[in-house]
A and B are shown apart, each in its own frame.
Chain A
Amino acid sequence: SQQGEEDPQALSIQEGENATMNCSYKTSINNLQWYRQNSGRGLVHLILIRSNEREKHSGRLRVTLDTSKKSSSLLITASRAADTASYFCATDEYQAGTALIFGKGTTLSVSS
């Protein structure tokens, strides 16, 4: 099953612009994570936000979490061509305890 659903499915922007991706999930969570995947390769962890946090920053990344709406957003500021990749949100299923559940991802294309 897939817990998170990212929106939009695809996003095309110019270098220097900001990119915003959203994620919605269904059940209670302990934390939410964002991962990045370059084409056909492994996933790389970007940032983790806990259920008692509302906002977190890491370099050009800003993540927000609204547990009342069961949603999160990832903002990448001043995008670069190297940011071109797929981005996935992942949540821990509260009842399962062991699995990270990924959404279908947002494909970001940054053109120079």
Chain B
Amino acid sequence: ETGVTQSPTHLIKTRGQQVTLRCSSQSGHNTVSWYQQALGQGPQFIFQYYREEENGRGNFPPRFSGLQFPNYSSELNVNALELDDSALYLCASSSGSVNTGELFFGEGSRLTVL
């Protein structure tokens, strides 16, 4: 148990819809990173939030957006869903603005886009 919780655990959407995924970080952590993991692949970095500001972004289009709240929990929003957005979305918390150490992952939200 890492203390990182994600919701919902599973959800099904149709193409064109919008989705919001939520993450509560581990106590004492001020950084949240989001990753997308397609079936059979490694996690791909979407973006990171540090103290409520975006602190790095991977190669994902602007329809992937995020937010971090004062309690350091975070949301990932995806607009105009496409079939290829079907994946496991992982949230990870850590401390500090630079990845020099361990990430603590939640169990993920599995999104299916039909």
Contacts and interface: CB of A to CB of B under 8 A. Distances in A.
Interface in A78-112: 88, 92, 96-105
A45 interface: yes
Contacts of A2: 42, 44
Interface string A1-27: 110100000000000000000000000
B103 A45 contact: yes
Contacts of B52: none
Contact of B110 (A30, A40, A100): A40
B42 A98 contact: no
A105 B88 CA distance: 15
Given A88-B42, A98-B56, A99-B56, A44 B99 contact: no
A108 B33 CA distance: 26
Interface residues of A, number: 26
Given A40-B110, A41-B107, A48 B101 contact: yes
Contacts of B44: 2, 102
A42 interface: yes
B90 interface: yes
Interface of B: 2, 4, 33, 35, 40-45, 48, 50, 55-56, 58-59, 88, 90, 92, 97-108, 110
19 contacts: A1-B59, A2-B42, A4-B42, A33-B102, A35-B105, A40-B108, A40-B110, A41-B107, A41-B108, A42-B4, A42-B90, A42-B108, A45-B104, A97-B99, A98-B33, A98-B48, A103-B42, A104-B42, A105-B41
